[in-house]
Structure 1
Amino acid sequence: MNVPFHCRNISRNLCNYHVMPRRPLLKSDSKWREYPSICHCSISTSGNNITSLLKGKENLKYRSLAESFRRCYSVEEKPSTNKLPPLMNFPKIVWPSLIKSMRNFVLATFIIKPYLDREFNLPDFISGSKRAVEVVSHKLSSGDLKKLNGLVTSDILPNLQQNVAQMSLSQREQIAINVDDIYFSFPYQVGIIFNDEDTDQKRFVEITMVYHTLKGLAAMRERGDEPPLNMGMLPEYQNRISICNYRFVREFTKGVDSEWTVNSLNHFKPIDEQE
């Protein structure tokens, strides 16, 4: 603090100050966060000295000193961000497409069910896929990606491991999805992959699903509360809303016993896309 020579006696009487050195106070994952230096002042209140210094034109020369005292109590901290980094390079899908929805119905009803899997139907698939999202997302959040074997295809594991490792603890907590927090879901696209020229005549079905979630929705409903329809526009809800895109694949080649697995996925928050 620069104090004019003729004000030094006043400063000694008004304030005995010292500046705390910068040092790490909080630890979040691998990074230390520092708080700015804070000036602790002990100010005499007898005679209202600070107030008198700020009054009258004759005391203008002391205002810089009083301003310095005021700044002792201002602490600036850089705002932290909880923006979710992408888990994979996968297009961010939010809403259904009317044309794709009609095509999905045709493929599921007239191709997949009669020719590939007689027990297949979209409502049951959607219900089961929500459970899969819950399991996969919680394993991603915990960082234990080795337990994803058999749940996701092996080719996407290295990409997931790299991106999850770069997330903060807060960001990883946001990835975990509970089934009861999903308030809207739909199949965005159903696709059938086959090659008649292949001697094995391999057949695959891919289904891209979209899930809209609200953190704490289950707890709200237990209390008898329901979120408003315009919650996406309300600040108290915006940071709790996230969207998950998962693409499931299963092989239907004759003689092959296969299960549904995830071959691409992503989590994002709509509020982040508005920034």
Structure 2
Amino acid sequence: MIQMLKEKLCLLSENHRSALAADMDEIMYTTAGDVGIYYDDSGRKFVSILMRFWYLSSADLPDETPDGTKVFQVVFGDETTKETKRLLTANYEFRREFTQGVKPDWTITRIEHPKLLE
């Protein structure tokens, strides 16, 4: 996953790379999209959680995109100071083995940023 992500990042413009990053205070909403528990052939237990994030970005992206990116005008101070932010979405799937005695490490198994990482 890391190597694939590094390869994709090298191909992105600086604006698209900055749109991938979100500060904690820019995340507007999160929800668990899917939670699954499964066992492999040797009896090990795993949990998979798909998290969906909606976040604001100041990245300079086109105003019209096929995915319907929304543009917000946020006014700070007076009417002459405006900052444009876009509401973007991201999906991250996390997996962890829950077999007794196994170190509790979460691994990202899927990353989706529609229209940014395609």
| Aligned pairs (5 A) from 1:142-161 | 156-161=1-6
Which residue does 2:48 correspond to in 1?
206
Determine helix, strand or coil for the equivalent of 1:192: strand
Q: Deviations over 1:2-37 (max 9, x none)?
A: xxxxxxxxxxxxxxxxxxxxxxxxxxxxxxxxxxxx
Which residue does 1:190 correspond to in 2?
35
Q: TM-score, structure 1 length as denominator? A: 0.32
Cα 1:263–1:178 shift into 2, 3 Å:
same
| Aligned pairs (5 A) from 1:12-91 | none
Q: TM-score, structure 2 length as denominator? A: 0.71
Runs of at least 4 residues off by over 4 Å: 234-239
Which one-letter code corresponds to 1:212 in the other structure?
Answer: W
Determine helix, strand or coil for the equivalent of 2:113: strand
Preserved contact between residue 56 and residue 85 of structure 2 (Cα < 8 Å): no
| Aligned pairs (5 A) from 1:1-275 | 156-195=1-40, 197-198=41-42, 201-215=43-57, 232=70, 236=73, 240-268=86-114
Determine helix, strand or coil for the equivalent of 2:47: strand
In the alignment, the residues of structure 2 paired with residue 172 and residue 255 of structure 1 have an alpha-carbon distance, to the nearest angstrom, of: 39
Determine helix, strand or coil for the equivalent of 1:240: strand
Preserved contact between residue 97 and residue 104 of structure 2 (Cα < 8 Å): yes
In the alignment, the residues of structure 2 paired with residue 204 and residue 166 of structure 1 have an alpha-carbon distance, to the nearest angstrom, of: 34
Identity %: 29
Q: Deviations over 1:112-170 (max 9, x none)?
A: xxxxxxxxxxxxxxxxxxxxxxxxxxxxxxxxxxxxxxxxxxxx112111101101111
Which one-letter code corresponds to 2:110 in the other structure?
Answer: S
Segments of structure 2 that go 5 or more residues without pairing to the other structure are 59-69, 75-83
- Pairwise CA RMSD of aligned residues? 2.4
Which one-letter code corresponds to 2:55 in the other structure?
Answer: T
Q: Which has the higher helix share?
A: 1
Cα 1:257–1:251 shift into 2, 3 Å:
same
Q: Which has the higher strand share?
A: 2
* Structure with larger RCO (C-alpha < 8 A, sep 6+): 2
**Alignment: residue pair count:** 96
Q: CA deviation at 1:258?
A: 2.4
In the alignment, the residues of structure 2 paired with residue 207 and residue 178 of structure 1 have an alpha-carbon distance, to the nearest angstrom, of: 21
In the alignment, the residues of structure 1 paired with residue 25 and residue 86 of structure 2 have an alpha-carbon distance, to the nearest angstrom, of: 14
Q: Deviations over 1:61-114 (max 9, x none)?
A: xxxxxxxxxxxxxxxxxxxxxxxxxxxxxxxxxxxxxxxxxxxxxxxxxxxxxx
In the alignment, the residues of structure 1 paired with residue 21 and residue 72 of structure 2 have an alpha-carbon distance, to the nearest angstrom, of: 21
Segments of structure 1 that go 5 or more residues without pairing to the other structure are 1-155, 217-231, 270-275
Which one-letter code corresponds to 2:94 in the other structure?
Answer: F
In the alignment, the residues of structure 1 paired with residue 25 and residue 48 of structure 2 have an alpha-carbon distance, to the nearest angstrom, of: 25
Q: CA deviation at 1:263?
A: 1.0
Q: CA deviation at 1:266?
A: 1.5
